[in-house]
A and B are shown apart, each in its own frame.
Chain A
Amino acid sequence: MFDIIGPVMIGPSSSHTAGACAIGRAAHSIFKTKPTDIVIHYYDSFAKTHKGHGTDYAIISGILGFAPDDARVPYAIKLAQDAGINMTFIAEVKASPIHHPNTAIIELKNQQKSIVVAGCSIGGGTIEIREIKMDGFDIKPRGPLPILLVPGSEADHHMITKLLSKLTEVTDQKHYQAEDHNLYEYDLDRQLQHTEVQKLAADYGQLVYLQGVS
């Protein structure tokens, strides 16, 4: 509902600004700490119009963890520069590898780790996340948010499934393996309330919750 009447945001384009900010925020939720290097690959409409639409500052503001209506959004690039973060924006000529005209692929890196997040902005500020590379896992969700990612054992998986069943329907779930580590993906039927996520995070500190509308 509030992705149709909303989001409240800094202009000028919901798919190219608020949506880009949301893709950035997804990367922020996964990376959790400050990156030293940011590389953004744009495809199709994003590649052609990212400058005019303010996509650059929007996506950086998301990576910095700002909400789309944060007054700092238009100044995000300057703020990131001041924080010593290297930024590269690449307008790709190839078609989007995740098959949507509003595609951005974000690479974040610091001394400890690196991740890759491929997202697309499907209109009105709503996004999908279609690929995540983290901790050796190559995660390929169907796209729609919210998505919960939980690294852990099979016992953890059973516990999480039980906890989630009290909260909402799990529309899809996947198991990923990287060496001897496991990760479970849960696609959820509704946004979790902030307090519900906090409760889950109390026992599973490594979890990543990617919410739909910020």
Chain B
Amino acid sequence: MYMHVSELVAAAQVKQQPIYELMITQEMSVTHASRDDIWQAMGRNLDVMAAAIEKGAAGEGVHSKTGLTGGEAVLLKKYREKGHTLAGDTVMEAVQNAVATSEVNAAMGVVCATPTAGSAGTLPGVLFTLKDRLDLNRDQMIQFLFTAGAFGMIIANNAGIAGATGGCQAEVGSASAMAASAAVAIAGGTPEQSSEALAIAISNLLGLVCDPVAGLVELPCVKRNAIGVGNALIAADMALAGCTNKIPADEVIVAMDKIGKNLPDSLRETGLGGLAATPTAVRIKERIFGHHPTAQA
């Protein structure tokens, strides 16, 4: 088991193997499953991601039961078609994919939690945009997921990834870092550059709180996935350009864990603080649940 990013990077250098390959080998030894079974299982995850991206942006889109989220992936798609986006089409395609997936999640559709359901839009958001941008085939997309999983496991082994223990930095932050490191690898960067991308991506989202309005995975969760993809693409490009984070990835992960533990309860998925405590959010909560949302059901 690779416990630290530095270990994983060193192993890739010594063995002269890509990180996804190290990950598959580790998974085979841990689970005793065959390489083919592991590969197929990841392929099924990829299919779930593709289906959510398509569903969220098709027709009128999807809408959650509360009506708080939905239909905005479609708005983004129509906006992109006009060809005048400010951030450029790669970024906005990734944003559309992330929003589509997260809207499907909020509408109780099927998603692949990467690493969590609340942050499920970020990784596929980046991956399916790179598919078009870099003309990736299916095998390369599956490789991307194994690379992201390798870095994600190290984050999860050294820091909590639940909003209730670490805040949104641990969910969208982790997802963004996993996407950034895998994006570097699939674009031909070195394992060292993947590690830098991870460090930059997490550093940029440190402190992000988990403050879901009415306790629902809708506001601001869907749009936080949009910032997750933007941050991942920026961090990946910076690492590929040769920029370094100076603070190593492993230390950044520990910093995130400590920040998470220091966050007050109200900002750790209780729906009590931050945006959830604004007057509008309180009105939304009352509209949905009445005055005593946490009383006995």
Query: Chain A interface (Cβ within 8 Å of chain B)?
Result: 1-18, 44-45, 47-54, 56, 69, 74, 88-91, 100-102, 121-125, 190-191, 193
Given contacts A101-B268, A124-B156, A12 and B106 within 8 Å (CB-CB): yes
Beta-carbon contact of A8 and B112 below 8 Å = yes
Which residue of the partner chain, among B41, B109, B117, B271, contacts A14 with CB atoms under 8 Å? Answer: B117
Task: Please indicate the chain B residues that have their CB under 8 angstroms from the CB of A100 in the complex.
Answer: 165
In the complex, besides A1-B149, A11-B117, A193-B33, 12 extra interface pairs with C-beta distance below 8 angstroms are: A3-B115, A4-B156, A5-B42, A5-B145, A11-B120, A14-B120, A49-B269, A51-B289, A51-B297, A69-B110, A90-B296, A124-B113
Per-residue A-contact encoding for B245-280, CB less than 8 Å = 1, 0 else: 000000000000000000001001111100000000
Q: Does B107 contact A (CB under 8 A)?
A: yes
Beta-carbon contact of B108 and A74 below 8 Å = yes
Complex alpha-carbon distance, A70 and B153, angstroms: 26
Which residue of the partner chain, among A5, A14, A122, A125, contacts B148 with CB atoms under 8 Å? Answer: A5
Q: Does B173 contact A (CB under 8 A)?
A: no
Q: Does B220 contact A (CB under 8 A)?
A: no
Task: Please indicate the chain A residues that have their CB under 8 angstroms from the CB of B178 in the complex.
Answer: 4
Stretch in contact with the other chain, from B88-96, B209-217, B225-233: B209-217
Beta-carbon contact of B270 and A48 below 8 Å = yes
B30 — nearest CB in chain A belongs to which residue?
A190
Chain B proximity of A12: nearest CB distance (Å): 4
Q: Does B5 contact A (CB under 8 A)?
A: no
Task: Please indicate the chain B residues that have their CB under 8 angstroms from the CB of A190 in the complex.
Answer: 30-32
Beta-carbon contact of B153 and A52 below 8 Å = no
Beta-carbon contact of B271 and A48 below 8 Å = yes
Beta-carbon contact of B45 and A15 below 8 Å = no
A-B contact count (CB 8 A): 184
Beta-carbon contact of B153 and A4 below 8 Å = yes
B145, B269, B272: which has the most chain A beta carbons within 10 Å?
Answer: B269
Chain A proximity of B19: nearest CB distance (Å): 13
Chain B proximity of A10: nearest CB distance (Å): 6
Beta-carbon contact of B294 and A45 below 8 Å = no
Beta-carbon contact of B153 and A49 below 8 Å = no
Chain A proximity of B124: nearest CB distance (Å): 10
Complex alpha-carbon distance, A10 and B268, angstroms: 22
Task: Please indicate the chain B residues that have their CB under 8 angstroms from the CB of A50 in the complex.
Answer: 294, 297
Beta-carbon contact of A11 and B116 below 8 Å = no
Given contacts A91-B294, A123-B162, A11 and B114 within 8 Å (CB-CB): no
Which residue of the partner chain, among A3, A7, A53, contacts B215 with CB atoms under 8 Å? Answer: A53
Complex alpha-carbon distance, A193 and B293, angstroms: 42
Q: Does B23 contact A (CB under 8 A)?
A: yes
Q: Give how many B residues have a beta carbon under 8 Å from the other chain's beta carbons.
A: 66
Given contacts A1-B23, A91-B296, A122-B165, A9 and B33 within 8 Å (CB-CB): no
CB pairs A–B below 8 angstroms (21 shown) = A1-B27, A1-B38, A5-B146, A6-B45, A6-B114, A8-B110, A8-B113, A10-B108, A12-B105, A13-B117, A44-B265, A44-B270, A48-B271, A51-B297, A89-B296, A89-B297, A101-B269, A122-B160, A122-B162, A122-B165, A193-B33
Beta-carbon contact of A191 and B110 below 8 Å = no
Which residue of the partner chain, among B114, B115, B162, contacts A121 with CB atoms under 8 Å? Answer: B162
Q: Does B72 contact A (CB under 8 A)?
A: no
Task: Please indicate the chain A residues that have their CB under 8 angstroms from the CB of B164 in the complex.
Answer: 15, 44-45, 101-102, 121, 123
Chain B proximity of A110: nearest CB distance (Å): 22
Complex alpha-carbon distance, A72 and B178, angstroms: 31
Q: Does B44 contact A (CB under 8 A)?
A: yes
Task: Please indicate the chain B residues that have their CB under 8 angstroms from the CB of A8 in the complex.
Answer: 44-45, 48, 110-113
Beta-carbon contact of A5 and B161 below 8 Å = no
Given contacts A14-B117, A101-B165, A123-B165, A49 and B112 within 8 Å (CB-CB): no
Chain B proximity of A193: nearest CB distance (Å): 7
Complex alpha-carbon distance, A2 and B24, angstroms: 11
Chain A proximity of B157: nearest CB distance (Å): 10
B38 — nearest CB in chain A belongs to which residue?
A1
Beta-carbon contact of A52 and B215 below 8 Å = yes
Given contacts A52-B271, A122-B160, A190-B30, A13 and B108 within 8 Å (CB-CB): no
Which residue of the partner chain, among A49, A88, A122, contacts B271 with CB atoms under 8 Å? Answer: A49
Task: Please indicate the chain A residues that have their CB under 8 angstroms from the CB of B161 in the complex.
Answer: 123-124
Which residue of the partner chain, among A6, A89, A90, A193, contacts B112 with CB atoms under 8 Å? Answer: A6
Beta-carbon contact of B110 and A13 below 8 Å = no
Chain B proximity of A37: nearest CB distance (Å): 15
B159 — nearest CB in chain A belongs to which residue?
A123
